[in-house]
């Protein structure tokens, strides 16, 4: 019988995502350049200086074996979401 290896998700990151989704941070953001993020849901790009960015937590990710930083992102047009990456974005309020 073949043994399957199971990869475990980081429960801390998962709990943060669930909690922040419940608070209205439902969009997903990607870093497309060092100065811009893109909302995955609508494809719109935003300059970092135009965003409200908050660092929420840092946690070790068991899948990538790196530290992942959870950021909340708020745009001037009402998009609210998350960016999880292995670095810290400049924080602009």
CA angle 30, 74, 91 (to 5 degrees): 80
Cβ proximity of 40 and 27 under 8 Å: yes
Determine, yes or no, domain membership for 5.
no
Residue 33, pLDDT score = 92
Determine, yes or no, domain membership for 33.
yes
Q: How many domains does the chain have?
A: 1
Determine, yes or no, domain membership for 92.
no
User: 92 or 68: whose pLDDT is higher?
Assistant: 68
Per-residue pLDDT reduced to its tens digit, 78-89: 999 999 999 998
Per-residue pLDDT reduced to its tens digit, 52-62: 999 999 998 88
Tell me the residue ranges of DSSP E strands in 1-93: 27-33, 36-39, 45-47, 52-61, 66-74, 80-85
Q: What are phi and psi of 70, to 5 degrees?
A: -100, 120
* Domain span holding position 75: 11-85
Average pLDDT over residues 51-80: 92
């Amino acid at each position: 019988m073949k043994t399957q290896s199971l990869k475990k998700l980081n429960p801390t990151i998962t709990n943060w995502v669930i909690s922040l989704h419940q608070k209205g941070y439902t969009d997903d953001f990607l870093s497309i350049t060092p100065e811009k993020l893109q909302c995955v849901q609508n494809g719109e790009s935003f300059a970092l200086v135009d965003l409200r960015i908050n660092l929420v937590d840092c946690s070790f990710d068991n899948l990538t074996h790196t530290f992942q930083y959870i950021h909340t992102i708020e745009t001037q047009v009402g998009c609210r979401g998350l960016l999880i990456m292995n670095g810290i974005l400049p924080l602009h309020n």
